[in-house]
């Protein structure tokens, strides 16, 4: 089974998310990922869930460390209850400068801090569901008080799935040992990187996994240049060339380039950012590099392009919502065919 998820543009706010989610649901997407950047991810998720009846909705990804696990647990419990189990929580760490200077919050060692964050959430969920005393004590978090007055009680839905945005080896191992799944980064979603880096590190963590937990879900945040015709696809390719050039200028995302022997590309891009030569950056990414990290096809060829690349390797893949609503019907046909082909070749 290969699920197809949409994602919201980062500038999509509360006034527009409801109509956007209904449109995504009507096209046949399995789910929708909302961002946590310009607007609050939990508020966006709540509005998207309230506006739909079938669609799964998840955060991709909610910035964890500035938020207490108790506050997040309460919000997620309500979202899961009101949607009859359609919500999932994707969490990420962000970079130290943003945590300390944008949020004025406490920075934690990413893997160790996130491990405790997940453990604390599960302990809180357990107390919500059973009424048992809350007693979680770690190095970074301590939750030992939850009076009955503040306990929302059990819900008629499963516990909230806990996904992680993971890039480095320790976080990938944490996915294998503890999380319910992973959101790959768009720079780390090539077939080779998934096979040679992501899956081996996740598998290493599986040795420490609670046997009661199902295997982690792998959600590929793939960039896809698509549309009804070659001209539209070509325009989308250039848009994603710009985006990938910007992303690969960040040293934290260079691991994929290094895997393919393209280390100098990341260094050149970083030099251009320092020189404020932003418009020159896309020229550094050749078509060979672009095709390694980007799926390009019109809607007619999209099912074959995505299924041949990802079926059996990941559980989900993201697909950009058409910029023009007039293309929704063609996109819906492609989504249905992706699902049919994935099931046929399962």
pLDDT (tens digit per residue) in 33-43: 999 999 999 99
Looking at the fold, whether 216 and 246 belong to one and the same domain comes out as no
Looking at the fold, whether 246 and 339 belong to one and the same domain comes out as no
Helix, strand, or coil here: 274? helix
Tell me the CA distances in angstroms from 23 to 42, 59, 146, 208, 212, one per residue in order: 20, 18, 40, 41, 36
Question: Does the model's pTM come out above 0.85?
Answer: yes
Query: How many percent of the chain have pLDDT more than 70?
Result: 100
Looking at the fold, whether 269 and 311 belong to one and the same domain comes out as no
- Mean confidence (pLDDT) of the chain: 96
- Give the separation between CA 40 and CA 308, rounded to whole angstroms: 36
Average pLDDT for 146-150: 98
Question: Confidence band (pLDDT; 50, 70, 90) for 345?
Answer: confident
DSSP string, 74-88: HHHHHHHHHTTS-EE
Whether residue 1 is predicted with pLDDT greater than 90 in this model: the reply is no
Looking at the fold, whether 209 and 272 belong to one and the same domain comes out as no
- Give the separation between CA 175 and CA 139, rounded to whole angstroms: 20
- Give the separation between CA 247 and CA 226, rounded to whole angstroms: 20
- Give the separation between CA 206 and CA 214, rounded to whole angstroms: 10
Please give the backbone phi and psi of residue 111, each rounded to the nearest 5 degrees, phi first.
-70, -45
Looking at the fold, whether 95 and 146 belong to one and the same domain comes out as yes
Residues comprising the chain, all counted: 346
Report the domain count for the chain.
2
Looking at the fold, whether 92 and 119 belong to one and the same domain comes out as yes
Looking at the fold, whether 40 and 151 belong to one and the same domain comes out as yes
Which pLDDT tens digit goes with each residue over 303-320?
999 999 999 999 999 999
- Give the separation between CA 188 and CA 222, rounded to whole angstroms: 9
Which pLDDT tens digit goes with each residue over 247-278?
999 888 899 999 999 999 999 999 999 999 99
Looking at the fold, whether 89 and 194 belong to one and the same domain comes out as yes
Looking at the fold, whether 180 and 218 belong to one and the same domain comes out as yes
In the chain, the DSSP E strands lie at 3-7, 31-34, 56-59, 62-63, 87-92, 136-137, 142-143, 162-165, 181-183, 217-220, 223-227, 294-298, 316-318
Question: Could you check whether the bond before residue 340 is cis, i.e. omega within 30 degrees of 0?
Answer: no
CATH of the domain at 10: 3.20.20.30
Looking at the fold, whether 133 and 246 belong to one and the same domain comes out as no
Looking at the fold, whether 144 and 96 belong to one and the same domain comes out as yes
Q: Tokens in use for 101?
A: 């200077």
Looking at the fold, whether 255 and 118 belong to one and the same domain comes out as no
Crossing angle between the packed helical segments 169-177 and 110-130, to the nearest 10 degrees:
20
Residue range of the domain that includes 309: 3-228+298-344
Domain boundary among 281, 297, 313: 297
């Amino acid at each position: 089974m290969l699920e197809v998820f949409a994602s919201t543009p980062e500038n999509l706010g509360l006034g527009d998310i409801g109509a956007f989610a209904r449109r995504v649901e009507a096209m046949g997407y399995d789910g929708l990922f909302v961002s946590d950047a310009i607007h609050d991810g939990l508020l966006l998720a709540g509005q998207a869930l309230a506006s739909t009846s079938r669609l799964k909705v998840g955060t991709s990804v909610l910035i964890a460390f500035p938020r207490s696990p108790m506050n997040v647990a309460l919000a997620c419990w309500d979202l899961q209850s009101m949607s009859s189990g359609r919500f999932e929580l994707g969490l990420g760490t962000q970079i130290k400068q943003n945590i300390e200077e944008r949020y004025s919050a406490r920075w934690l060692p990413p893997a160790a801090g996130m491990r405790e964050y997940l453990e604390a959430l599960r302990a809180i969920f357990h107390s919500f569901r059973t009424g048992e005393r809350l007693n979680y004590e770690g190095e970074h978090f301590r939750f030992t008080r939850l009076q009955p007055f503040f306990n929302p009680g059990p819900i008629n839905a499963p516990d909230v799935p806990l996904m992680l945005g993971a890039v480095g080896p320790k976080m990938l191992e944490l996915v294998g040992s503890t999380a319910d799944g992973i959101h790959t980064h768009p720079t780390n979603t090539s077939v080779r990187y998934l096979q040679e880096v992501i899956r081996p590190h996740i598998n290493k963590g599986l040795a420490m996994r609670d046997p009661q937990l199902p295997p982690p879900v792998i959600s590929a945040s793939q960039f896809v240049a698509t549309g009804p015709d070659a001209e539209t696809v070509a325009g989308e390719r250039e848009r994603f060339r710009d985006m990938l050039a910007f992303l690969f200028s960040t040293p934290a995302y260079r691991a994929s380039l290094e895997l393919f022997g393209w280390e100098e590309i990341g260094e050149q891009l970083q030099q251009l950012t320092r020189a404020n030569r932003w418009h020159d950056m896309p020229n550094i990414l050749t078509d060979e590099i672009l095709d390694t990290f980007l799926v390009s096809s019109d809607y007619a060829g999209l099912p074959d392009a995505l299924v041949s690349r990802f079926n059996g390797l990941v559980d989900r893949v993201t697909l950009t919502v058409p910029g023009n609503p007039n293309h929704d019907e063609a996109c819906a046909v492609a989504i249905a065919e992706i699902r049919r082909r994935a099931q046929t070749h399962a």
